[in-house]
Structure 1
Amino acid sequence: MLRLAGTEVVSLGGRPAEAATALLYACVNRTVNLAAAGYATVEDLDTALRLGCGLKFGPLHLLDLIGLDTVRSALLRLHEQTGSASYVPSPLLDRMVEEGLLGRKVGRGFHRYDHRGEIVPPARTAISGGTPREIRRAGVVGSGTMGRGIAEILIAAGIPTTLIARSTHKADEAADRIHASLTRLVRKGRMSEQDRQDVLARLTVATGYDALADADIVVEAVAEDMRAKRAVLQGIDAALKPGAIIATTTSSLSVTECANATGRPADVIGLHFFNPAPVMRLVEVVRTGHTADDVHATAHALVRWLRKTPVDCGDRVGFIVNHVLFPYLNDAIRMLARTDVTVDEIDTAVVTAYHHPMGPFTLLDTIGLDVSLAILETLSAASPTGEPEPAEELRRLVAAGHLGTKTGSGFRLVDNGR
């Protein structure tokens, strides 16, 4: 198996290497299908999956490095061996191979390459026709991990922010958690004590929506339940001044439905932050058919202000990252049932050969098997084919209470790593 820096050969043994390659090629093929559907640009697809999953290369860049013809031939062999639809080469991949667009080795594939083999950036295009609205104050509704993280990055960026919680106890707890997070930064030398005090001075916590009256943008970060979100969004809408923007952090619900719960659908947009929000650089920006151009422009400007990277995607379940990542994780679980490779072997092969920060089973345990199952069920319910149907072993472990790192047992910690 070749290490993707291009020259170093890494010995992994046949079975784990083949398993890792099969997993990654199916993942790449799904990304090609998103590009073919025009769901997002090639650059946004690669950026989203690189930053959202901590990868060295985006899937389409990886495909260019390996060679489109090489990957297509491998997919055909895998489909013949397994019968899985995941390995049916995307029609776009077929067409590009026929046209000789084979990747970096010929100077053009999904990206263009210069004489040194470096990607030639595409010409910049305007984000939208709108001029960003001014953001002087912000609000966050939700005191969980995501809500606290978003509030922290807003105040760290210099934006006075009000965090709304369900109770005084929850509000005070959220403030204490943000205080502790910033204190850790001081201890690590990443922030001065004076800066910490200045940042905390920009945070207000409250329990009523009326505290949002002066906000120019409010980020909704409550549970992934449409009934709960609808009630919260309506409360936010009633409290906000005209022209204020509402952003929802949903990752699995319709942003359009969220927008329609308010009386200002043109002012609603999706901003899917990744956990932990203070650390992860990616934000998926999801505009609906209602979203005004200046709201879209404001979202991009705000994300950049927060020192994050925005990528545009359409309003569909899973957006970019979850749509590609969780079927890949599901494939890894199913692979255990049909091969004799182990959890450790697959994780090691994926990390060693493809520079992933962690293997699929370590990642599943880190995310939480219950969370992973819920996301897969949502993706399956939204798919016309019912795929990806969650693997039975995942269901079994969740039913048995083995939820991953948070319970001390999961794929890496059960049955001796098998």
Structure 2
Amino acid sequence: MSPEIPETPESPARSFTTIGVVGLGTMGAGIAEVFARNGHAVIGVELNDEGVERGRQHLTNSTDRAVEREKMSQAEQAELLGRISYSTSLKDLSDADLVVEAVVESMETKLAIFSELDAIVSPGAVLATNTSSLSVTQLSTGTSSPGRVVGVHFFNPAPVQNLVEVVRTVVTEPDVLSDVQALLVSLGKSPVVCGDKAGFIANTLLFGYLNHAASMFEGRYASREDIDAGMRFGCGYPMGPLALLDLIGLDTAYEILETMYLQGRDRLHAPAPILKQMVTAGLLGRKTGRGFYTYEAPDSSTIVVDDKTPSADEAPAFKHDIKQVGVVGTGTMAAGIAEVFAKSGYDVLYVGRSAEKVEGVVATVTKNFDKQIQRGRATEESKTEVLARLTGSTSLEDLKDVDIVVEAIAEDLAIKTTLFENLDEICRGGRGGAGAILATTTSSLPIISMAKVTSRPQDVIGMHFFNPATVMKLVEVVSTVSTDEDVTETTRALCAKVGKVAVSCGDRAGFIVNALLFPYLNDAVKMLEAHYATADDIDLAMKQGCALPMGPFELLDVVGNDVSLAIQKELYSEFREPGFAPAPLLEHLVTAGYLGRKTKRGFRDYSRR
């Protein structure tokens, strides 16, 4: 499932003593700092004296911050800066063992530099480019020895970010690749090897996801706040996709997506029209003070109120009186939901298929509390209070007086629709807030299919908790075309009262989180399937390059490849987007029974761990 990539040697065969860096902008200066910090002599080259001075200032400011944070002493700073010399002539790089080009993303400019460097440096010197999207192969054609050209894509800020994508072309010499890998390891970096394709690993996977989020916002499926909150609280991402686009710069995002699309012709990389419109209007994100959000000033990170910001007066209020909550199901999710409501002071009546399963919920909640008590996060008194609010039953008829029922049974539409027919007959009906709300926790099934079998489709809503419900903050509140606005508002208010973050969206496959998450995971499987990079390198790239809590293959094995395949099939069936078609490798793993951690084998083998 992975390409043949030479192992990284403990030390490079070449001696990398003197390093040349061409271009001393933010990125180039950061790369120069990394090498100088590790004892290398660095020659920084800029176009003119003004450029040299800007580069020198970048380095001074960066190392000043390190001194202020006590990451280095003033003596170490002086020693580091003393290893860097400056020039405005490429000819001064004649003795360099490695030259890293970090100039503007222009193929014409870079080609001219590589062609000139080829005639200056020694035959054994390595030429590297820090491009994030241009073809390294094309750049190598500007030299007489394309085998010594390699991509070394550092991430910003280079002194802080450990990930470096090492981009091999079809003619990169194996020893060049292994020597560069070893050098990067000696710098304390984490090199990942990939082929020469626009976007490499991290940007290919990241920007497809960001583009999808922009399209979701453009289609008014959900608000910018709810899209961002969905991914932050539902997946543990450090930033929401739209806020991240503002940070990156919408012009930069557009250019990267355009380059990726023109090379691969994947419709998922065709920039969302809203990106082009915003770039044309000069709404580039933080750097201009306005993008998807509005900022206090250009280059500020402080978001301020604008015409799209929800008003504090619009906080959801209870339009239905909620005193008693019903939960159908006794599995992990149902038990967690019951515990969440009981902890917030609600009396909860939960229904299971057997007395044994009903008792299992009490056992689960008790075990959870005992763990918390042991850690000093709960008391025996609070455990007793919560357990007293939980009442179990094996009869749906007992739900006749509850104010809301949350269904958390098997993800099977036939079973769920039958349940909703029964709940419709059993639960209190009536309009104007008098009837019980019927909610489903489905993560992928059409909620309208459950609503239509009832006599009160206006009272049916999605309330998608995330697992484990007691820990995860997010709840997707999913309204159908029939859901009454008072029901939606009450459900959001209820989420807030039990300490959850509610995000609103419409009834379509994947809702917000799964619709953004699973195409990204599917793209990662396709990348592995194409022998573009190893699973380990792809996971590492996304964790270190994008600060995600888990790599895609780690996550797939935790979620379960069968679950992932089912969700991806739902997305493909609903949107008919060719790029959403499940990767054949994912289907093959499921067919083989390699479902992930639960079967001890998925994308990785866990039998010996």
TM-score by length of 2: 0.66
User: How large is the RMSD of aligned CA atoms in angstroms?
Assistant: 2.1
- Equivalenced residue count is 416
Structure 2 match to 1:13: 165
Quick one: which of 555, 565, 568 aligns to 1:376? Answer: 568
SS at match of 1:78: helix
Which letter does structure 2 place at the counterpart of 1:391? A
1:124 has 2:300 as partner: no
- Structure 1: gaps of 5 or more residues: none
Structure 1 match to 2:52: none
1:300-319 to 2 correspondence within 5 Å?
A: 300-319=492-511
Structure 1 match to 2:367: 180
Which letter does structure 2 place at the counterpart of 1:211? D
Which letter does structure 2 place at the counterpart of 1:358? M
1:15-51 C-alpha deviation (Å, 9 max, x unpaired): 4482011100000000111011110111111111111
Moved more, 112-121 or 371-380: 112-121
Moved more, 128-137 or 253-262: 128-137
| Alpha-carbon contact 1:129-1:294 (below 8 Å) kept | no
| Alpha-carbon contact 1:20-1:349 (below 8 Å) kept | yes
SS at match of 1:231: helix
1:1-150 to 2 correspondence within 5 Å?
A: 8-15=160-167, 16=192, 18-115=200-297, 116-122=300-306, 123-125=309-311, 131-150=318-337
| Alpha-carbon contact 1:326-1:376 (below 8 Å) kept | yes
Cα separation, 1, equivalents of 2:397 and 2:154: 59
1:211 has 2:403 as partner: no
| Alpha-carbon contact 2:316-2:490 (below 8 Å) kept | no
Cα separation, 1, equivalents of 2:508 and 2:574: 9
SS at match of 2:363: helix
The structural deviation recorded for 1:321 is 0.6
Moved more, 374-383 or 28-37: 374-383
The structural deviation recorded for 1:414 is 8.0
| Alpha-carbon contact 1:23-1:332 (below 8 Å) kept | yes
Which letter does structure 1 place at the counterpart of 2:386? V
1:268-303 C-alpha deviation (Å, 9 max, x unpaired): 111111111111111111112222222112101110
Judged with a 3 Å threshold, the aligned counterparts in structure 2 of structure 1 residues 70 and 164 are, in CA distance, closer, same or farther, namely: same
1:214-233 to 2 correspondence within 5 Å?
A: 214-233=401-420
Moved more, 332-341 or 144-153: 332-341
More strand by share: 2
| Alpha-carbon contact 1:246-1:268 (below 8 Å) kept | yes
Cα separation, 1, equivalents of 2:333 and 2:304: 36
Which letter does structure 2 place at the counterpart of 1:410? G
1:267 has 2:454 as partner: no
Judged with a 3 Å threshold, the aligned counterparts in structure 2 of structure 1 residues 131 and 63 are, in CA distance, closer, same or farther, namely: same
Judged with a 3 Å threshold, the aligned counterparts in structure 2 of structure 1 residues 3 and 205 are, in CA distance, closer, same or farther, namely: farther
The structural deviation recorded for 1:224 is 1.7
The structural deviation recorded for 1:5 is 7.7
Structure 2 match to 1:342: 534
Moved more, 7-16 or 361-370: 7-16
Return the index of the structure with the highest Cα Rg.
2
Which letter does structure 2 place at the counterpart of 1:319? F
SS at match of 2:294: coil
Cα separation, 2, equivalents of 1:183 and 1:58: 35
Judged with a 3 Å threshold, the aligned counterparts in structure 2 of structure 1 residues 7 and 236 are, in CA distance, closer, same or farther, namely: farther
Cα separation, 1, equivalents of 2:164 and 2:441: 40
Deviating beyond 6 angstroms after TM superposition, the runs of 4 or more aligned structure 1 residues are 4-7
Which letter does structure 1 place at the counterpart of 2:494? L
1:293-335 C-alpha deviation (Å, 9 max, x unpaired): 2211210111001100001101111101111100000000100
Cα separation, 2, equivalents of 1:254 and 1:127: 28
SS at match of 1:13: strand
SS at match of 1:12: strand
Judged with a 3 Å threshold, the aligned counterparts in structure 2 of structure 1 residues 414 and 129 are, in CA distance, closer, same or farther, namely: closer
The structural deviation recorded for 1:338 is 2.5
Cα separation, 1, equivalents of 2:597 and 2:381: 36
Judged with a 3 Å threshold, the aligned counterparts in structure 2 of structure 1 residues 209 and 117 are, in CA distance, closer, same or farther, namely: same
SS at match of 2:464: strand
1:317-332 to 2 correspondence within 5 Å?
A: 317-332=509-524
Cα separation, 1, equivalents of 2:162 and 2:427: 58
1:94-135 C-alpha deviation (Å, 9 max, x unpaired): 111111111101001111111332122444346599752221
Moved more, 167-176 or 127-136: 127-136
1:26-80 C-alpha deviation (Å, 9 max, x unpaired): 0000011101111011111111111111100101111111111111111111112
1:189-221 C-alpha deviation (Å, 9 max, x unpaired): 111011001000000111111211221111011
SS at match of 1:238: helix
Structure 2 match to 1:278: 470
| Alpha-carbon contact 2:155-2:164 (below 8 Å) kept | no
Structure 2 match to 1:400: 592
Moved more, 3-12 or 289-298: 3-12
Judged with a 3 Å threshold, the aligned counterparts in structure 2 of structure 1 residues 267 and 11 are, in CA distance, closer, same or farther, namely: closer
Structure 1 match to 2:604: 412
Which letter does structure 2 place at the counterpart of 1:29? N
TM-score by length of 1: 0.95
Which letter does structure 1 place at the counterpart of 2:471? V
Which letter does structure 2 place at the counterpart of 1:8? V
SS at match of 2:568: helix
- Structure 2: gaps of 5 or more residues: 1-152, 168-191, 195-199, 430-434
| Alpha-carbon contact 2:441-2:463 (below 8 Å) kept | yes
Judged with a 3 Å threshold, the aligned counterparts in structure 2 of structure 1 residues 127 and 234 are, in CA distance, closer, same or farther, namely: farther
Cα separation, 2, equivalents of 1:220 and 1:293: 20
| Alpha-carbon contact 1:317-1:323 (below 8 Å) kept | yes
| Alpha-carbon contact 1:379-1:387 (below 8 Å) kept | no
Judged with a 3 Å threshold, the aligned counterparts in structure 2 of structure 1 residues 321 and 46 are, in CA distance, closer, same or farther, namely: same
